[in-house]
Each structure stands twice: as structure tokens, then as C-alpha cells.
């Protein structure tokens, strides 16, 4: 009867010459970060709120020009709908 401990593998790999090599886990390959793609994405994510903020000063005049409603008190409702559906 062979005495074994819980760190010994159940099946012995005959292709491995050294037992210490078999116990070390294989390192995953290191993949480089796509820095250019990340920079472009960060730039675009910065521009998105800036473009969205440019709508607010002009949306009420745009709704008025389109004559969507005759009641001037409803222009704010239509402006909110236009800005919310982005």
C-alpha cells in the first residue's frame, strides 16, 4: 500500500520529466492593452456630454420654430420629450 498526501496528483503525467514542473500552474499569456483604442474611446466619451449640453440653450427656440404647439406653456413639455429621447 502506497502512502500519499492530498497534494499528490491522482494521475501521474508520464510525459513530464520533473515533478516540480507538473505542480506549477501554467502562466496565461500577457496581452498588451490597446492604448490607442482606449484613448479614442475616452475622447469620445468626453465629447458625448459636451455635445448633449449644447442642445439645451437652443431646444426651446427650435420647438417654437417648428410650431409644434400653439400654447407657449407647452413648449417645455415638448422640449423635455425631444431631449429625453436620445
Q: Report DSSP letters for 30-62, one per residue.
A: P----HHHHHHHHHHHHHHHHHHHTTTTTHHHH
**53 or 9: which carries more pLDDT confidence?**
53
Kindly state the DSSP code that residue 13 receives in the 8-state scheme.
Answer: -
Place of cell 505542480: 23
**Which residues constitute the domain of residue 52?**
30-84
pTM: predicted TM-score of the whole model, two decimal places: 0.43
Residue 4: inside a domain, yes or no? Answer: no
Residue 34: inside a domain, yes or no? Answer: yes
The answer to whether 63 and 79 have CB atoms below 8 angstroms apart is yes
Note the pLDDT tens digit of each residue in 37-58. Answer: 999 999 999 988 887 788 888 8
If one counts the domains in the chain, the total is: 1
Compute the mean pLDDT over every residue in the chain, rounded to the nearest whole number: 80
C-alpha cell recorded at residue 73: 406653456
Residue (of 84, 78, 38, 40) closest to 60 by Cα position: 78
Amino acid at each position: 500500500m502506497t502512502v500519499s498526501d492530498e497534494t499528490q496528483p491522482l494521475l501521474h503525467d508520464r510525459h513530464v520529466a520533473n515533478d516540480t514542473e507538473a505542480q506549477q500552474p501554467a502562466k496565461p499569456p500577457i496581452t498588451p492593452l490597446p492604448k490607442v483604442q482606449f484613448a479614442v474611446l475616452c475622447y469620445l466619451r468626453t465629447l458625448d456630454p459636451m455635445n448633449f449640453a449644447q442642445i439645451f440653450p437652443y431646444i426651446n427656440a427650435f420647438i417654437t420654430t417648428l410650431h409644434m404647439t400653439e400654447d407657449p406653456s407647452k413648449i417645455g413639455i415638448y422640449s423635455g420629450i425631444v431631449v429625453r429621447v436620445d
